[in-house]
Amino acid sequence: MSVKSFSPQLNNSEEILENTLRPQKWSNYIGQERIKNNLKIIIGAAKKRNDPPDHLLFYGPAGLGKTTLAYLIAKEAGGNIRTITAPIIEKPGDLVALLTSLNEGDFLFIDECHRLNKQVEEYLYSAMEDFKLSLILGKGPMAKTLDLTLPRFTLIGATTKLDMLSSPLRGRFGAIFQLSFYSPEEIEEIIKRSAKILNIKINDDAAKELSKRSRFTPRIANKLLKRVRDFAQMDNKDTITKKIVIDSLSFLEVDELGLEPGDIKIIETIIHKFAGGPVGLQALSSATSEEKNTILDVYEPYLIQLGLIKRTSKGRVATKAAYEHLHIPFD
């Protein structure tokens, strides 16, 4: 039987679920307190100056709330927000059409901004700095430059790969924030809030057990909550108990640390095929038949957070904790 991995990435139905559960005000946004406090100051000061807030950049693993923060910022500042993923902006003309459609005080949220086309990115520089676009019309000696004045707007960028952003683009953001993994207590609170919105009854110990298996990530917590609800309903139970959580997630092959078959494969490959490491990314990718980006973006951040693997200058190494979790003797 093939079991779906609970990746932080979204499909269409999951996006609808996430939008339903998305906090609509600061008081409902759980976690990331330092970032929220900084954003409140940035927005409040901009309001007093009657200026748009500085351009903002959020980075960190998928599913931690970057998009939700963008929506909350726009709502708090009283502006409209347009959202788009970077690969959709294929050429400068697409960017021009997007920027000229904005109104004064609007927000433009670009997800995966590390994937911006370089030619598009260069046009973005003057738009971010001076709210202007310089378009070159025609070619050769007959070419003309057309300067367009844009409404003052705020660009909010999001990326899982800060290191892939060019220095010129990164330097044009007024503030850059790293979203960190959530604590088990914060995830538990998020689960209870989501359960209430979805009209799901869940015991405290069940919420605690579910939070332990949610990879410190709200998006995954909400996905697992929905799946556990399905099991409870099929068993004619109106309340999710700890036993239902354990039984259903065991069926879904999510263990007590939130590890899935893909995670286990990564660790076991390092231990059994490479004597515990170190092993390079390319070799690990070939040995597991996993894409390098999948290892980097989906598996590795959580495994490092748990202390099950570590990265060294020579490659990935399985830790003693990894051996113990898989009940493999550690020499």
Q: Could you give the residue numbers annotated as active site? A: 66-67, 111, 160, 219
For Cα atoms 319, 305, 298, give the angle at the middle one, nearest 5 degrees: 105
- Torsion sign across C-alpha atoms 60, 169, 164, 119: positive
SS3 83: strand
Residue 264 Cα distances to 121, 227, 281, 317, 323, angstroms:
39, 21, 16, 14, 11
Q: Cis ω on the peptide bond leading into residue 278 (within 30° of 0)?
A: yes
| CA 104 – CA 79 distance, rounded (Å) | 8
| CA 194 – CA 199 distance, rounded (Å) | 8
Residue in this structure with the two tokens 């570590």, named with its chain if needed: 310
| CA 17 – CA 119 distance, rounded (Å) | 35
Cβ neighbours of residue 181 closer than 8 Å, sequence gap 6 or more: 61, 64, 215, 216, 217, 301, 302, 305
